[in-house]
Amino acid sequence: MEVKILETTVVLPSPPPPFLVDHHLPLSHLDNDCNLHVTFRYLRAYVATNHHLTTADPFHVVITALSAALHHYYPFAGTLRRREDNRLELHCQAGKGVPVIRASVDCTLESVNYLDDPAETWIENLVPDPDPEKGLANPMVLQVTGFACGGYCLGAMVHHAMCDGLGATQFFNGVAELARGASRLSVEPVWDRARLLGPREPPRVEFPVHEFLRLDEGFSPYSASGEPVVRECFHVKEEWLDRLKGFLRERSGSSFTTFEALGAFIWRARVKASGTPGDEQVKFAYATNIRKLLNPPLPSGYWGNGCVAMYAQITAKDLVHQPIWSTAELIKKSKRNSTDQYVRSFIDFQELHFAEGITAGKGVSGFTDWRHLGHSTVDFGWGGPVTVLPLSRHLLGSVEPCFFLPYSSAKGGHKDGFKVLVYLRESAVEGFREDMAKFSRQEFDLV
C-alpha cells in the first residue's frame, strides 16, 4: 500500500502566542523521567459521513483549528533541549509552529478494514516517525491522510516529555472543539509543571521506590536487543474472559478485573515464551493516573504527564511456575501503592538520583488499557474516530508493550470483546501463540 506525501505545512499559532521574547519553560520531574524521553505515535481513523462538514477538506479543517488551538498550547510549537544535567526543558520562540503532513492513499477505509488490523506493517506510513533529534526539535508532528472514500486518518507523533495520552487527548479535544465551530476552549490548559509536580524541600523518599527502581547510569531501557520485534494481534471474546475470571475466582476466592486477570495470563505467557533465565527479576509495569490521586488534586486543565509507573515484580521461574491466580493477586496488590506518598517519593527520588541513571532494569513488560481513554470524543466534525491505534514500541521502559484496544466502531467491526496488541521478539511468537490458543479454548490449567 503506497502512502503518497503531498506537502508539509508548518502551522503557526494564531493569533501569535502571548509572549514577546524567547524563553524557557521548565518541565516537571515526571516529564523528565528517562522512560519518557521518547516519542509516542498513534492514529485516529474517520469515515466520511452525511454531516455538513463532509464536503470540507479534512486537512484544511484540521490545520485551521490547530492554528487557533496553538495560541493556548503554544509549547507544542517549541523545541526540547537538553540541559547540562541531561534533563529536558522547552525553548519557546516566536515564529515557530507544528509541521503537518498532507498525504493520500488510493483505497477506501473499508477495503483496509478501517485500519482495525494492527499487524499490518504499511500503516506505519500513516504516522510521522522522525529520528530522535528531530523529535526534540519538533515535539509534535501530525499527518492527515485522505482515503479514496472521503474518509481520512490523523496520525500524531508527540514527544512523551510534553504530555501523556490523557494530556494529548485534552489537546486534540480542544482542536476538535474549535474545528466544530466553538469560539473558545471548554478546558483552559494549565502548565505550571515545576510547582505542581516539583520535589519537596527537602526531598525525602518515604516510600521504598528503590524496590522497583535501580541506579545504572550506563543502562538504556530502549536499547535494541538485535532480534527483530513483531506486532501480533489477538482477539479476546467476553465469554473467554468471563471464564478466565470465574476460574481465578473459584481457585483463589478473589475477584479480579479484566486488566489483572488477562494481564497475568499474558505476562506469564510472554515470559515463558521468551526463555528468560529463571533467576532474573521480571516486572509487570503499568501507569496509574495521579491527577485526582494527589492532595491537592492537579487542576483540570493540567496537560503534562500526570501518570506514574507502577510495578509488580517476581523472578521469571516463580512467575512461570506459580498458579496464575497468584500472579493476578500480585498485580492487584501493586495497585495499593497508588498513593500521594508514592508519587511524592517517586518525584523526590528523581530529584535526588536523576544523574545516577534511574531505570527499572531489564525484563520489563509494559501494559496499558486503551479501551476507556476517551479517544472517541475527538470529533472534528465527522463524528468520533472509528479506530484508534497506537504504533509505539517504547512504553514504561519496555520494548515489547501490550495494549488492550477496542474494536473499530465502523460498520462490520467486531463487537464481542476487544483485541490485544502485543509486541514480541520473533523467537517468542510461536510459544506465545500456543498459550493464547489455550486461552481461547479455556485450558487455563495447561498454561
User: Which residues are the active-site residues?
Assistant: 160, 379
Nearest CA to 311 out of 218, 205, 396, 405 is that of 396
CB 366 within 8 A of CB 399: no
- The Cα 376–Cα 361 span in angstroms is 35
Nearest CA to 369 out of 312, 289, 429, 274 is that of 289
Secondary structure (DSSP) of 337-390: G-SHHHHHHHHHHHHHHGGG-EE--SSEEEEEE-TTSSGGG--SSS-S-SEEEE
CB 89 within 8 A of CB 80: yes
Nearest CA to 196 out of 333, 27, 35 is that of 27
* H/E run at residue 194: helix 193-196
∠364-370-371 over CA atoms, to 5°?
A: 135
- The Cα 439–Cα 263 span in angstroms is 12
Tell me the helices (H) and strands (E) count for the chain, helix number first: 10, 17
Nearest CA to 399 out of 429, 433, 364 is that of 364
Can you name the residues that pair with 11 across neighbouring β-strands?
A: 98
- The Cα 39–Cα 161 span in angstroms is 8
Grid coordinates representing 26 are 521548565
- Tell me whether residue 220 is exposed, middle or buried, using C-beta atoms within 10 angstroms of its C-beta: 0 to 12, 13 to 18, 19 or more: exposed
* H/E run at residue 67: helix 58-70
- The Cα 369–Cα 196 span in angstroms is 26
For residue 367, which amino acid is it? Answer: F
Q: Is the peptide bond before 139 cis (omega within 30 degrees of 0)?
A: no
- The Cα 39–Cα 232 span in angstroms is 21
